[in-house]
Amino acid sequence: MKINIQEINFTINMRNDKDHPDLLAFLSIIFVEERGRKFICNGFSIRKSKFDGKPYIAMPSKRCGVGFFKFNLVEKSLMDEIEKEAVKQYEYESIPIIEG
């Protein structure tokens, strides 16, 4: 089977959670192939780093026993590109709208 991904889009749902101040938004990654069919990966989040305050993507995971199980394993170079674009879109969407 061969699937040619033509586009990657994001759905970002902003959050303002007092219990989790590092949680900035929930993120879905949408892979669109050449015929317009979509593959959607949910469960990502955009969080604020406790070290430098910059936003980053946290991978979806599920607690199982003591550790965590990751549902999505993505090659590092691809994930770096996805993270860069998702954070750019998050920062754009977080700009407040001012009507004059």
pLDDT tens over the chain, length 100 residues: 888 999 999 999 999 888 999 999 999 999 999 999 999 988 899 999 999 999 999 988 776 666 666 667 788 898 899 999 999 999 999 888 788 7
Q: For residue 40, what pLDDT is reported?
A: 92
> What is the per-residue pLDDT for 98?
81
Q: Would you kindly state where each structural domain of the chain is located, as residue ranges?
A: 5-93
Query: d(Cα 39, Cα 67) in Å, to the nearest integer?
Result: 27
What would you report as the CA-atom Rg of the chain, rounded to the nearest whole angstrom?
Answer: 15
pLDDT of residue 25: 95
pTM: 0.80
What pLDDT is attached to residue 66? 62
Residue 99: what pLDDT?
A: 80
CB-based contact 41:27 (threshold 8 Å): no
DSSP strands (E only) in the chain: 5-14, 23-33, 38-48, 55-58, 61-64, 67-70
